[in-house]
Amino acid sequence: MILGIETSCDETAAALVTGEGEIRASVVSSQADLHARYGGVVPEVASRRHLELVTPVIREALSEAGATLDDVDRVAVTQGPGLIGALLVGLAAAKAVAWARRLPLVPVDHLNGHVASLYLQPDPLEPPFLCLLASGGHTMLLDVRGHGEHELLGTTLDDAAGEAFDKGARLLGLGYPGGRELDRLARDGDPKAYAFPVARVPGLDFSFSGLKTALLYAVRDLTPEELEARKADLAASYQHAIVRALVERVREAAAQAGRETIAVVGGVAANSELRASLPDARLAPLALCTDNAAMIASAARFTPAVAYPGYLGLDAYASR
């Protein structure tokens, strides 16, 4: 049994996963309501909330699994990337549990965790495959050749796709989390109402800053009354441009890498238009798209553990 702990941003999560990839428990405590008043995650506020929640969340996961710490064979934790203060809370908690029980500890890269969400029961995906990892902080195309073995084919040159969604929602005066609110509003709009640009950069990389600027100019050209009337069309057209950029690059990368299977993971994988635009792709289950500890425990199945007490000197990292 693996105890996974995840605190890289604004979700405090713990999970119990077996060595075969069965999720025995997955508990996620979101801070979305706490940060909504600020329109985004405040790192110091997030860190302090993780301090309050990490122990109760671990206890709840153990209770949900009908397990105790005696049943845990190793502890897995997100080491990075993420908000450094938030990461340190989870890392300290994981060290404490592992050290007290003389257990090995597995430091997990958060992005590897998103890919490993595809390896969980009841329908695990086996490599090789082409994977789009799209979240608030990252947009990557990965050629996944084996468990824990992948090659980076393309990434974003500026904003991540999730960040572009959130910034677009803010420009439209929507609530937080912005990506979810923009997706909901876009369902009532016309995706062809505005011809927003899709950047074509060399290779398999992405760029969303020009698209964000185009939305800014479109909003500025409207009176408050016009903006309110056209908000759904703006949301639909903006979302359509982001999704089109992602889908075109995914198809191109799959062809170049010679991969028949396409997978999508990360928070943006929950977007309804993206899911509809890639009907043949393997998408992470909705519950595993956003940050969770089950994916961290899953990645730990294929990541070397650090034996007791060698992990006490481990540090977190904010970026790769």
Are residues 68 and 105 both part of a single domain?
A: yes
**Do 113 and 173 belong to one domain?**
no
Give the model confidence (pLDDT) of 220-258 as tens digits. Answer: 999 999 999 999 999 999 999 999 999 999 999 999 999
Indicate if 66 and 17 belong to the same structural domain: yes
Provide the pLDDT for residue 236.
98
- Give residue 199's pLDDT: 85
Residues 218, 142 share a domain: yes
Structure-block tokens of residue 16 = 């119990």
The C-alpha atoms of residue 274 and residue 59 are separated, in whole angstroms, by: 36
Is position 267 within any domain? no
* 282 is a domain residue: no
What is the extent of the structural domain holding 253? 129-260
Q: Say whether both 115 and 149 belong to one domain.
A: no
In a domain, 281, yes or no: no
Q: Are residues 108 and 20 in the same domain?
A: yes
229 found inside a domain: yes
Measured in degrees and rounded to the nearest 5, phi and psi for residue 145 equal -100, -20
Residue 204 lies in a domain: yes
**Which amino acid is located at 18 in the chain?**
T
Question: What pLDDT is stored for residue 175 in this prediction?
Answer: 86
Neighbours of 49 (CB within 10 A): 20
Are residues 169 and 153 part of one domain? yes
Query: Taken in order 106, 111, 112, 117, is the CA torsion positive or negative?
Result: positive
Answer yes or no: do 186 and 114 share one domain: no
- The pLDDT assigned to 33 comes to 87
Strand locations in 110-240 (E):
129-134, 139-146, 149-155
Q: Report the CATH number at residue 224.
A: 3.30.420.40
Judgement on whether residues 95 and 140 belong to the same structural domain of the protein: no
Per-residue pLDDT, 148: 85
Examine residue 190 and state whether it is found in any structural domain, yes or no: yes
Same domain, 113 and 135: no
Q: Is 285 contained in some domain?
A: no
Residues with pLDDT less than 70, the chain: none
In order of 28, 154, 197, 211, the CA distances from 267 in angstroms are 14, 18, 23, 20
The pLDDT of residue 85: 98
> How many domains would you assign to the chain?
2
- Structure confidence by residue, pLDDT tens digits, 278-287: 999 999 999 9
* pTM of the complete model: 0.95
Residue 242 placed within a domain: yes
Q: Examine the domain organization and report whether 6 and 31 are in the same domain.
A: yes
Task: Say what the pLDDT of residue 136 is.
Answer: 86
Domain co-membership, 247 together with 224? yes
